[in-house]
A and B are shown apart, each in its own frame.
Chain A
Amino acid sequence: MTSSTRNNQAALPASDAAPDEVVIDCRVEKIFYGNFLAVRDSHLPILKNRITGFIGPSGCGKSTVLKSINRMNDLVRNFRFYGHIHFEGQDLYDKKVDPVTVRRHIGMVFQQPNPFSMSIYENVAFGLRLNRYRGDYDARVEEALRRAALWDEVKDKLRNNGMSLSGGQQQRLCIARAIATRPPVLLMDEPCSALDPIATRQVEELMVELKKDYTLVIVTHNMQQAQRVADRTAFFSVDITRGGRTGYLVEMGETTELFANPGEELTREYLSGQFS
């Protein structure tokens, strides 16, 4: 991929020089769905221009935590959040905060590719129009599509419906749509789970490339994927001791460190495949 090599050279120094600045400080005390305690006691500092991966067995609450960050869970009935998520000096769960504005600054890519049923161009321009951007739409759309490594494949059919693309292309279109407005943070909820291996690799390369300008948080059920792309990894597990199935953060650290020397026995067992 030519674009990715070119970019590596351009952005290497910047990435190394960046200090470990915490963009999002996520302190979950309790998350409930109705009376069901879904997640408890998890502190997750998200560092700027890094990829943070959330891994863990199914039902461990990693997706719940991710969707709490941009307040997508507000859509779920009976969802209650106790704790704080600080972003740019504000608590996102403060009463005065408007969840709609939060979602404009914290973009999201979903598990299933979900382009709108409109042209490829309009899909990418959607966020621009939404934020009432006054400027060169063509340039922004092209840039977003290039960064999503999709430009060469779609530049001659921008008027085609976004749904006509293949699964992997659709997911990259969704990424382009999310980054067109350049939100500082991008959340990805198992972005490759519906994709084939080739498309998965393309999206993974894309994530690594995007971290120069964005802070990324990805949820994955795939340990290898976390190892390949994440700088830092958070391992969640399920606590079934009190009859419920409550997820919690076991430990979090640099990916290489976590995989080589897990601090907790549970992490080691999970990483070595003793449960999943």
Chain B
Amino acid sequence: MASPETDRKAGAGGSICRPPTAADRLADRVFRGLTCAFAWLTLLLIGYIVWRIGGTALPAMKRLGIGFLTGTTWDPNQQKYGILPEIWGTLYSSLLALSIGGFFGVAIAIFLSEDFLPDRIRVVLKATVELLAAIPSVVYGLWGIYILIPMIRPLANWLHVHLGWLPFFSTSLTGPGMFPAALVLSIMILPTVAAISQDALGAIPARTREAAFGLGATRWETILRVLLPTASRGIFSALVLGFGRALGETMALAMLIGNSNRLTLSLFSPADTLAALLALNFPEASNLEVGVLMYAAVILLTITLLVNIAGEMIISFSARPGGGRS
């Protein structure tokens, strides 16, 4: 080892500063180019997806036209296709899921973000709720078939017998149906709603809370009158994104909703959704039918895109000062 003393005499003359080698410069340029190329590729990929799905759907779109959206029969033998029941089923099941999952999600968000609990328990509960989202939807489907449906059937049939004059309870629950599907769906969107709402509530500055408490408001007066209104945009976007998730969920619905092509208000009747229609018919579709299914996929894509973009826009708007989310 060279002695520090001799090295020191060399002084600044011992500088080993070098410009980057040609290889370093080349590597820099190549690497940066590569990352840029992949960013572009993301856009190209999305363009290609839209072009590819749209292109395959185009013949069917031309042939079936707008009547596809309003038709109510699906009969490959007669070449008659309509997806109104599926569009209805998609929206109806998602709205049901949103009203249940949204309520629970927001309640959980309040419970977990306002200090009701010691930190340690709160962390455990939060993780548990998040893990709800980790269970694959096909497993929820299996659970729904063999556990949930038998469990709620007595209740459903009691409602049918006693309140059957209401359109919601006009049929009995014999097996799969709208209600169990929507119930499972609500479990699946609940973590999304809870997580985004928690962010919105957590982003409210402590001074806002202190101001309300300082005026003598109780905890719930603070929550209902101050915090929820302040975070309303964030919570609203949580609901919109949860709704978007529900629209596109496939497996749990394909397994639980009964896949029956009918337009109904009844909660206990089988129904169908766009995603379930695709899942069920694609594997055995003839070439002609594939085009029709692609058309249905385009409709599903359009609906979910609109909802998701709306949700993202609300989030980014509320990210501005004064909004609920930072």
A213 to B4, CA, bound (A): 14
Does B77 sit at the interface, judged by CB under 8 A? no
Contacting residues, chain A, for B8 (C-beta < 8 A): 7, 10, 143, 147, 213
Contacting residues, chain A, for B7 (C-beta < 8 A): 139-140, 143
Say how far A116's CB is from chain B's closest CB, in angstroms.
18
Contacting residues, chain A, for B19 (C-beta < 8 A): 98, 100-101, 104
Say how far B163's CB is from chain A's closest CB, in angstroms.
64
Given known A-B contacts A139-B2, A142-B4, A143-B7, A184 and B12 have beta carbons under 8 A apart = yes
Given known A-B contacts A136-B1, A146-B4, A100 and B20 have beta carbons under 8 A apart = yes
| In contact, A128 and B1 (Cβ under 8 angstroms) | no
Contacting residues, chain A, for B11 (C-beta < 8 A): 182, 212-213
Within 8 A of A (CB), among B15-36: 15-21
Within 8 A of B (CB), among A93-107: 98, 100-101, 104-105
Contacting residues, chain B, for A212 (C-beta < 8 A): 11
| In contact, B4 and A143 (Cβ under 8 angstroms) | yes
Does B216 sit at the interface, judged by CB under 8 A? no
Total inter-chain residue pairs, C-beta < 8 Å: 57
Contacting residues, chain A, for B4 (C-beta < 8 A): 142-143, 146-147
A107 to B1, CA, bound (A): 25
Say how far A60's CB is from chain B's closest CB, in angstroms.
30
Number of interface residues of B (CB under 8 A): 15
Given known A-B contacts A183-B15, A184-B15, A213-B11, A101 and B1 have beta carbons under 8 A apart = no
Given known A-B contacts A136-B2, A139-B1, A139-B7, A182 and B12 have beta carbons under 8 A apart = yes
A165-206 Cβ-contact flags toward B at 8 Å (1 or 0): 000000000000000011110000000000000000000000
Say how far B152's CB is from chain A's closest CB, in angstroms.
53
A41-80 Cβ-contact flags toward B at 8 Å (1 or 0): 0000000000000000000000000000000000000000
Closest to A6 in B: B5
Does B321 sit at the interface, judged by CB under 8 A? no
Does B14 sit at the interface, judged by CB under 8 A? yes
Say how far A214's CB is from chain B's closest CB, in angstroms.
6
Task: Point out the residue from B2, B14, B17 that lies within 8 Å of A105, measured CB to CB.
Answer: B17
Contacting residues, chain B, for A224 (C-beta < 8 A): none
Does A242 sit at the interface, judged by CB under 8 A? no
| In contact, B15 and A181 (Cβ under 8 angstroms) | yes
Contacting residues, chain A, for B12 (C-beta < 8 A): 182-184, 213-214
Within 8 A of B (CB), among A116-166: 128, 131-133, 135-136, 138-140, 142-143, 146-147
Contacting residues, chain B, for A10 (C-beta < 8 A): 8
| In contact, A181 and B16 (Cβ under 8 angstroms) | yes
Given known A-B contacts A139-B1, A142-B1, A143-B8, A132 and B15 have beta carbons under 8 A apart = no
Closest to B20 in A: A100
Query: In the complex, given contacts A139-B2, A182-B11, what are 13 additional A-B residue pairs having Cβ atoms less than 8 angstroms apart?
Result: A98-B20, A104-B17, A131-B16, A132-B21, A136-B1, A142-B4, A143-B2, A147-B8, A181-B15, A181-B16, A182-B16, A184-B12, A213-B11
* 5 contacts across the A-B interface (CB closer than 8 A): A98-B20, A104-B18, A136-B2, A143-B4, A146-B4
